[in-house]
Structure 1
Amino acid sequence: MQNSEFQGNKTSASSLPKVERPRLHDAVVDHLRQFIIEGALAPGMKLNERELCEMLGVSRTPLREALKVLAAEGLIEISPNRGATVSRMTESEIWETFELMGGLEAFSGELACERITPAELAEIKAIHYNMLACRVQNDLPGYYARNHEIHDRINQAARNSALRQMYVLVNRRLQALRFRSNFQTQKWDSAIHDHDEMIKALESRDGKKLAAILRQHLLDKRDAVLQIQRADSVASNQTEPSDRADLSL
């Protein structure tokens, strides 16, 4: 990672607390994963071990162990010659992975409507109201954390360990993209509406309806992500020649 690349995202990343030693390994993984989700470590960015060690307050050994975990999750790529870089998904990978995730979430919703307890439903509703408060405050990280927790709680309420394992694995690859899909206000508000409908379907134990909402919700996320990526690509290709010359100096 070039110093100039990292500086623009350093404020957001450095706002997280230093890692506490008793939970060192898990905490380093969690911090790096959060940096990737919120874009402090952007797709394609080369990771600078020295800078990350300084930021997290750890040595290179736990950092490298954490990088191996994230590589296994598909969030970063490690090359013997190039070191570690943040993974960048192709359009076809995004399309297919969101499509798969839509199916997993739909199945979670169906099972959750059959198996969720009143206490679990009450907890999800409380998280939903906290999520709405974050929207009013324009707090995207807070909103996303609660949004993520709602989907996760629905999956847990399905009480299917095989589904749970696959859900967690696939969702980790998509978290950064799901976070980014809310950058546009219209998309953010549309997601809020979807969540309102999810709560209603859960309350009425309507598994078919919740499954349909969740599946479409994920496909809408996919389309929003692809739209953003294509717009970024067009903007990049339209860089003025004079700008390119300046960058090459």
Structure 2
Amino acid sequence: MSETAWTNELRNFAELKPRKSLAADAADHLREFILLGKLAPGMPVRERDLAEAFGISRTPLKEALRILESEGLIDYGPTRRPVVADPSLDEINDWLRVQGALEALAGELACEVASDAQIARIDALNTSIKEARDAEGQLAAFRRDMDFHGAIVEASGNRALLETHATYNARLWRVRFLSSQRVASRDITRREHLDIVNALKARDAAAARRALTQHLRTAEINIAAAIAEAKAETEDT
């Protein structure tokens, strides 16, 4: 997508709402553009064009870009000009393995301390993923999927774990969204989610740890395949 085309589309796409700060709202819209692949990894992000597209000054825009930088979605090169982050597969796998360990611990702790209501909510979120995909599309389903994982971590009752997980989760959003679009992996994902839910319902800490560890190992495979497929598609076009 050319620079003119994507800024015009972003202008039409972004309707800033007063319920959030301009910076937070701009970050939300730009994050979604990155997740949807409308801004490719490594693509320069021109502040002047963005400010014009959003109809805001460069001060809240810079704040929005800092938010996305903290999430690992925007990088600043030697010239301090922002680009869409393009982490290597090795970096992504490093993050995934840490996130896998965090989620495995969260599942183990949740079996011990989560309320029945929290586990019921986790179960309901899992059920809602397919419903959201059918009714609202893949992005809505992906958000429910991330809510499902976030609810497990929240149910651990460990604030430090929740904060650390949020950091890694933000860095992995783009590649996990890319992975979630692979139809070939959806049946496996559903089975693994069900294993996680069943372990939590049974309050089986060891089973919850195993199921969550396996789920993140599967994510590594899916993400590597999704990146390879996206690269091949780009080369074909």
Query: Which bin holds the TM-score, normalised by the shorter protein?
Result: 0.7 to 0.9
Deviation at 1:67, TM superposition (A): 0.9
Taking the aligned partners of 2:97 and 2:87, their CA distance within structure 1 comes to 14
Indicate the residue corresponding to 1:102 in structure 2: 100
Q: Is the 8 A contact 1:19 1:28 kept in 2?
A: no
Cα displacement string for residues 80-101 of structure 1 (whole angstroms, at most 9, x for unaligned residues): 6362101111121122111111
Q: Within 5 A, what are the aligned runs for 1:74-223?
A: 74-79=72-77, 81=79, 83-137=81-135, 139-223=137-221
What is the number of equivalent residue pairs in this alignment?
A: 237
The superposition leaves residues 186-213 of structure 1 with CA deviations (integer Å, 9 ceiling, x where unpaired) of 2123212222222211111112111111
Distance in 1 (alpha carbons) for counterparts of 2:66 and 2:122: 33
C-alpha distance in structure 1 between counterparts of 2:88 and 2:5, whole Å: 22
CA root-mean-square deviation: 2.5
**Separation in structure 2 between the aligned mates of residue 187 and residue 4 of structure 1, nearest angstrom:** 35
Amino acid at match of 1:227: A
Distance in 2 of aligned mates of 1:106 and 1:199? 13
Instruction: State the match for 2:9 in structure 1.
Output: 10
Flag structure 2 segments of 5+ consecutive residues without an equivalent: none
Q: CA deviation at 1:150?
A: 0.8
Give the conservation status (yes or no) of the 8 Å contact 1:134–1:143: yes
- 4+ runs of 1 displaced by more than 4 Å? 234-239
CA distance in 2, matches of 1:5, 1:225: 28
Q: How does 1:57-76 map to 2 (within 5 A)?
A: 57-76=55-74
Report the identity percentage. 33
Distance in 1 separating the partners of 2:5 and 2:224: 23
Matched residues in 1 for 2:17 and 2:51: separation?
Answer: 10
Name the SS of the counterpart of 1:181 in structure 2: helix
1:32-51 alignment, distance < 5 Å: 32-51=30-49
CA distance in 1, matches of 2:72, 2:21: 23
For residues 136 and 189 of structure 2, the distance between their equivalents in structure 1, rounded to whole angstroms, comes to: 14
Deviates most, 205-214 or 123-132: 123-132
| TM superposition shift of 1:4 | 5.6
What 5-or-longer segments of structure 1 have no aligned partner? 240-249
TM-score normalised over the length of structure 2: 0.88
For residue 244 of structure 1, what is the aligned residue in structure 2?
none
Could you say if the C-alpha distance between residues 59 and 175 of structure 1 is closer, same or farther in structure 2, counting changes exceeding 3 Å? same
